[in-house]
Amino acid sequence: MNLRLSTSLLLATSLAIIAVAQVDVAASANGGIASQSSDYSSISTADKANDGDRQGNYSAANNIAHTGFESGAFWESSFATAAAIDTVNVFNRTDGFGERINPFNVILYLGLTEVYSATNQTFIPTITGPQISGMSFMTNGVIADRVRIQLAGSNYLQLAEVEAFSSRPVPEPASIAALGMGAFALMRRRKARTAA
């Protein structure tokens, strides 16, 4: 195999690997580092809303994040890395008291900067199933590293699950640099062959 063909194959393979990496789900509140303004009890901690379980029956599964009664109660999760977030799904309690979430805010942050907010929302289920009641927010690919759900008033905040999804992760600087160096080397080789 000649050098030109092997260089072209290497560059094509690198581009294919980068392209495949960019269609994966880039960020989800699931598995992120969760916290909330307070804990109602030792079985209703913040991690219950990012454990992958959307079911909202507090009594049956003990899988609801639940704060104490307070003004501006919040739950939030930080992502491992910043990502272009397309959708945030909020899953509510289903065995009663679902109205406690109203009104609420969905906020995305990049560092300390608020980059998206849907404020004073009334919970209207758009995702339903047995013991599942969720509402979706389309966030148009805003780059964020943290999601927060916060009450706009005073009450208990109860969440079954919060999900933040993306199909377009922010490319890592190392990937961009490797791609640029590969393209530069290929162009330099072509220029050297043309001059010879």
Q: Is the pTM of this model over 0.75?
A: no
pLDDT of 142 reads 96
The CATH class, in words, for 25-169 is: mainly beta
With a cut of 90, say whether residue 107 has pLDDT above it. yes
User: Which residue from 161, 156, 159, 162 is spatially nearest to 67, judged by alpha carbons?
Assistant: 156
Cβ pair 82, 143 in contact under 8 A: yes
Categorize the per-residue pLDDT at 157 as very low, low, confident or very high, splitting at 50, 70 and 90.
Answer: very high
User: Which residue from 92, 93, 118, 115 is spatially nearest to 104, judged by alpha carbons?
Assistant: 118
Helices 173-195 & 3-21 angle (0-180, nearest 10): 160
Averaged pLDDT score across all residues of the chain: 80
Cα distances (Å, whole numbers) of residue 58 to 25, 35, 81, 162: 28, 18, 31, 15
Strand runs (DSSP E) across 2-60, as ranges? 33-36
Cα distances (Å, whole numbers) of residue 175 to 77, 171, 182: 26, 7, 11
The ranges assigned to domains in the chain are 1-22+171-196, 25-169
